Structure 1
Amino acid sequence: MYLGIDIGTSGVKAVVIAADGRVIGQGHAALTVSRPQPLWSEQDPEDWWRATQAAVLAIDPPVRRSVRGVGLAGQMHGATLLGANDRPLRPAILWNDGRSHAECAELEAAAPDLHAIAGNLAMPGFTAPKLLWVRKHEPEIFAATRTVLLPKDYVRLKMTGEKASDMADSAGTLWLDVARRRWSDTLLAATGLDASHMPRLVEGSDVAGTLLPDIAESWGMARVAVAGGGGDNAAGAVGVGVVADGDALLSLGTSGVIFVATDTYRSNPAGAVHAFCHSLPGLWHQMSVHLSAASCIDWVARITGAPGAAELFARAEVAGPGAGNELFLPYLSGERTPHNDALVRGAFLQLDNDTDAGRMSQAVLEGVAFALADGLDALRGAGTVVKQLSVIGGGARSHYWGRILSAAMETPLAYLRGGEVGPALGAARLAQLAVDGGDPRSICVSPPVDRVVKPDPDDIALLAPKRAAFRAAYPRITPLKETTP
């Protein structure tokens, strides 16, 4: 059996699978995010470690004893700064932190070849601009920094004592030469760093270390190998068999991601499309990324008094597609694809005296769907062909939302059995490959399809005017950010 651990933003999930991919055991522990100032989003790295241990120990002891390898997945881009003693110097700056928007322009000026080497625009979510911010605003911490790790790689250090990272997660730093799959001295120098600050690079299906004796003992496991693993999206793709050119998925977690596997490196920074390495050798991927997806569901449930997401979906379904004129722009944490705008914020528009919780809920489902449709358009504008999307993540639980998403994107959605397990499943499969070898396409197979949601022509017609209004609304709200402190 193989253990996959996913260090997410809202929690850590641990999953044990059998060799045939069946889920044998699961554990979960919650995390919280600190937002001490506008645009800031931080977590204490030690909280990741505490949650990881809690999630693993929630799995039955006999299942843990059977584990033969461990894989890691995690939230991308987080800047975890370690001093000479390998302890964090400050809270980690997360993927949805927007404070370094000014430093993005500085990075692009300092590294004119950034787009060609990293394959991406400089965005505040990426790791490199965060280090420029720290160098400017916290110079004593920057001077004391000896290592920069991504979130899951800090957990790896605690588990194995090894400083290592995989290609897929490292591609999201803006320090990787993505085509050549190695650190770029040029991009590191542009942020005042060099290769000594970086972890060793491995492929996601390679062995990156071994459990330390005390960790293995406390977890009731042997000193098994720990695989390179992957960033959450790449690992999620491995988990649902998106491992061949043209395979595509939609991840509905805290953020929303459309992910397309490619057998060559294809960058399109002009459309704010990400081009990263995949977690398997010889593969890359393109992504459109939306910083708020299922997080919008939790937010509107809270402000409308819904006891949870299920009740919110039920209220929205009563209202129905296209109900009312309400529009929701889901930019609660800014946006990446296609706008690359860290400062824009969400908005409700077209509210009236008849607006109620049901119509607001429906507008939120539609707003996230319209944003995802914008991202899919950006991918298609880059020449990427997407015929169907496999759906994973917590948002995959709602059948009704699938109906709205499919109509907004005018694309069939395949809901996979166990798709809500997400990146932890892919991490476990990468552990299996690291320990046993084998052909990734025979091991990383797609789970059975529970249902396919096809775009309903009536829903498309109901949503079309609102999507047009949604696309017209973004440029009209952007002046407001100039007045926001």
Structure 2
Amino acid sequence: MYLGIDLGTSGVKAVLVDAAQRLVGQSTAPLEVSRPHPLWSEQDPEDWWAATGRAVAGLRAAHPDAMAAVRGIGLSGQMHGATLLDKGDRVLRPAILWNDGRSGAECAELERRAPTLRAIAGNRAMPGFTAPKLLWVAAHEPDLFTAVAKVLLPKDWLRLRMTGDHASELSDSAGTLWLDVGRRAWSDELLAATGLGEAHMPRLYDGCQPTGALRAEVAAEWGVPPGTVVAAGAGDNAAGAVGVGVVAPGSAFLSLGTSGVLFVSGDRFAPNSERGVHAFCHALPGRWHQMSVMLSAASCLSFAARLTGAVDEAALLREAESHGGDLGPLVFLPYLSGERTPHNDPHAKGVFFGLTHDTDRGALARAVLEGVAFAFADGLNALEEAGGRVERFLVIGGGARSALWGRILASALGRPLDYPEGGEVGPAFGAARLARLAVTGEEPETVCQPLEIRHTVEPDPILAAALAPRRRLFRRLYGDLTAAFREADGA
């Protein structure tokens, strides 16, 4: 039995997977995000630990015998978050998250200090990445910066609480801008550009390697055997890829979660930073991947449900499905937290354009679904500029449950979408697979098989033709509003 824990932005998910790779049980615990100032996004790491305890407790209550048979634990988590610790491993401030946009000026400064950044890290400096956050702390909280002894990514702080080890792995660490992604090792040059050294960093592992053993007191609380192996794990996207079997070169997935990701697995380091494409290490040895990332995807639907007073997202989706009228020029820009690929613009904002007296809640919901799909299509264009054509995508994430959204996405992208059995479990299942590899030493291809495809959604030419004029307007609106977005933020 293997336990996978995924520390997301909106909650922690824990899953139990047996030796036949069947999902035995799952449990979740919610998290909140603090936004004390414009562009800021933070969480208290202690909230992560409390939510992890609640999620694991839910599994223990439902499956005590299975929990007692756990042989390994894998970790997955939101990437890029800066968790700052002093010499006693005490947290110095709330963690600055992946969707925090405060460090735009520090990105420019980092690229000035490290002209080879993009060649080494495979990515341009963006506010979401970890290194610019440390430059911001150094500039705005200098006393705190001098007290920093370790910088850990979110899931790796959980590991510290679980095992006492300062450890990380390559897929998550590739998103810090401190990793030499081609060499798969920390870069002294990039660390020095932020006033840090390798001593501030955790040890590095491949995701399928063991990093330590669960502390006895945590094992007792969770109802698992003491000394249970804890695998290195993966950043959420790489873990999702392992979970659905996107490990062979050219295989790809679309993740429709809080954020939106197009992920393509590869066997070499192939950066294209100019278009905001991310080039990272994969969670498995000798593998890399490319990603197009949008900061707000399924979270846009949650936003629209709150904005319009819908009962919940499911009810709003039903209204979008039943909306039969022509949307006309109604377009939604989904940049609620700024945007990465292809714009790299922390100042971008969400926009409804084309409202009239006849606009109803169903039309707004439909525009949100389309706007997210158009942003994915922009990301696909950038991704394919960096490599070859991507023929099809597996779909994972909570938003994957919407049949309407699937039809819109397939038609906007012009690609078939394959929906796997269990794809909604995503990164937590991949973390459990990595736990198994850490315990058994099996070949990754043996364990990381693609999931069985439940159904496929093909592009609809009629729907694609109807979407085309709104897609053109969508792309024009961002260009027309770019200066206004910056002015609104005083940039």
Q: Report the TM-score range of the alignment, normalised by the length of the smaller protein.
A: over 0.9
CA contact (8 A) 1:322 1:463 kept: no
Classify the secondary structure of the residue corresponding to 2:365.
helix
**Matches of 1:243 and 1:99 in 2, distance apart?**
34
Q: Does 1:478 align with 2:482?
A: yes
Tell me the residue number matched to 2:251: 247
Tell me the residue number matched to 2:147: 144
CA contact (8 A) 1:321 1:463 kept: no
Q: Does 1:90 align with 2:78?
A: no
Deviation at 1:10, TM superposition (A): 0.2
Q: Does 1:265 align with 2:308?
A: no
**Matches of 2:290 and 2:366 in 1, distance apart?**
29
- Correspondence for 1:430 among 421, 428, 434: 434
Letter matched to residue 487 of structure 2: T
Tell me the residue number matched to 1:192: 195
Deviation at 1:385, TM superposition (A): 2.2
**Matches of 1:182 and 1:382 in 2, distance apart?**
23
Tell me the residue number matched to 2:418: 414
**Matches of 1:482 and 1:47 in 2, distance apart?**
33
- Correspondence for 1:395 among 365, 389, 399: 399
CA contact (8 A) 1:321 1:362 kept: no
Deviation at 1:323, TM superposition (A): 2.6
Tell me the residue number matched to 1:360: 364
Instruction: Output one character per residue of 1:229-284: Cα deviation in whole Å (capped at 9) or x when no partner.
Output: 00000000000000000010000110000000001110000111000000000000
**Matches of 1:322 and 1:273 in 2, distance apart?**
34
Tell me the residue number matched to 1:53: 53
Tell me the residue number matched to 1:31: 31
Residues 412 and 481 (structure 1 numbering): CA distance in 2 closer, same or farther, change over 3 Å? same
Q: Does 1:347 align with 2:351?
A: yes
Letter matched to residue 395 of structure 2: V
- TM-score, with length taken from structure 1: 0.99
Where does structure 1 lack aligned partners over 5 or more consecutive residues? Answer: none
Tell me the residue number matched to 2:208: 205
Q: Does 1:108 align with 2:116?
A: no
Letter matched to residue 435 of structure 2: A
**Matches of 2:66 and 2:26 in 1, distance apart?**
10
CA contact (8 A) 1:149 1:198 kept: yes
Deviates further, 245-254 or 213-222? 213-222
Letter matched to residue 217 of structure 2: D
Tell me the residue number matched to 1:334: 338
Letter matched to residue 346 of structure 1: G
Residues 243 and 405 (structure 1 numbering): CA distance in 2 closer, same or farther, change over 3 Å? same
Q: Does 1:455 align with 2:466?
A: no
Deviation at 1:304, TM superposition (A): 1.0
Residues 320 and 377 (structure 1 numbering): CA distance in 2 closer, same or farther, change over 3 Å? farther
Structure 1 stretches (4+) deviating beyond 6 angstroms?
A: none
Tell me the residue number matched to 2:322: 318
Letter matched to residue 171 of structure 2: A
- Correspondence for 2:384 among 380, 384, 389: 380
CA contact (8 A) 1:78 1:93 kept: yes
Deviation at 1:205, TM superposition (A): 0.1
Classify the secondary structure of the residue corresponding to 1:140.
helix
Q: Does 1:76 align with 2:58?
A: no
Where does structure 2 lack aligned partners over 5 or more consecutive residues? Answer: none
Residues 322 and 258 (structure 1 numbering): CA distance in 2 closer, same or farther, change over 3 Å? farther
Identical residues among aligned pairs (%): 62
Tell me the residue number matched to 2:219: 216
Deviation at 1:483, TM superposition (A): 2.7
Classify the secondary structure of the residue corresponding to 2:299.
helix
- TM-score, with length taken from structure 2: 0.98
Residues 89 and 381 (structure 1 numbering): CA distance in 2 closer, same or farther, change over 3 Å? same
Deviation at 1:322, TM superposition (A): 5.9
Deviation at 1:126, TM superposition (A): 0.1
**Matches of 1:295 and 1:178 in 2, distance apart?**
30
Residues 125 and 321 (structure 1 numbering): CA distance in 2 closer, same or farther, change over 3 Å? farther
Deviation at 1:330, TM superposition (A): 0.2
Instruction: Output one character per residue of 1:88-128: Cα deviation in whole Å (capped at 9) or x when no partner.
Output: 10000000000000000000000011011000000000000
Deviation at 1:418, TM superposition (A): 0.9
**Matches of 2:486 and 2:242 in 1, distance apart?**
41
Classify the secondary structure of the residue corresponding to 1:258.
strand
Deviation at 1:321, TM superposition (A): 8.9
**Matches of 1:139 and 1:276 in 2, distance apart?**
30
Q: Does 1:445 align with 2:449?
A: yes
CA contact (8 A) 1:117 1:176 kept: yes
**Matches of 1:291 and 1:338 in 2, distance apart?**
11
Deviation at 1:482, TM superposition (A): 3.0
**Matches of 2:324 and 2:114 in 1, distance apart?**
49
**Matches of 2:44 and 2:260 in 1, distance apart?**
24
Deviates further, 174-183 or 12-21? 12-21
**Matches of 2:324 and 2:158 in 1, distance apart?**
44
Classify the secondary structure of the residue corresponding to 2:175.
helix
CA contact (8 A) 2:348 2:486 kept: no
Classify the secondary structure of the residue corresponding to 1:419.
coil
Classify the secondary structure of the residue corresponding to 1:353.
coil
Instruction: Output one character per residue of 1:330-378: Cα deviation in whole Å (capped at 9) or x when no partner.
Output: 0000000000001111111111111110111000000000000000010
CA contact (8 A) 1:322 1:466 kept: no
Tell me the residue number matched to 2:5: 5
**Matches of 2:75 and 2:475 in 1, distance apart?**
38
Classify the secondary structure of the residue corresponding to 2:424.
helix
Classify the secondary structure of the residue corresponding to 1:84.
coil
**Matches of 2:48 and 2:195 in 1, distance apart?**
27
Deviates further, 18-27 or 289-298? 18-27
Classify the secondary structure of the residue corresponding to 1:420.
coil
**Matches of 1:442 and 1:51 in 2, distance apart?**
32
Classify the secondary structure of the residue corresponding to 2:196.
coil
Letter matched to residue 110 of structure 2: L
CA contact (8 A) 1:61 1:220 kept: yes
Tell me the residue number matched to 1:41: 41
**Matches of 1:35 and 1:187 in 2, distance apart?**
29
**Matches of 2:352 and 2:199 in 1, distance apart?**
47
Classify the secondary structure of the residue corresponding to 1:58.
helix
CA contact (8 A) 1:322 1:462 kept: no
Tell me the residue number matched to 2:67: 64
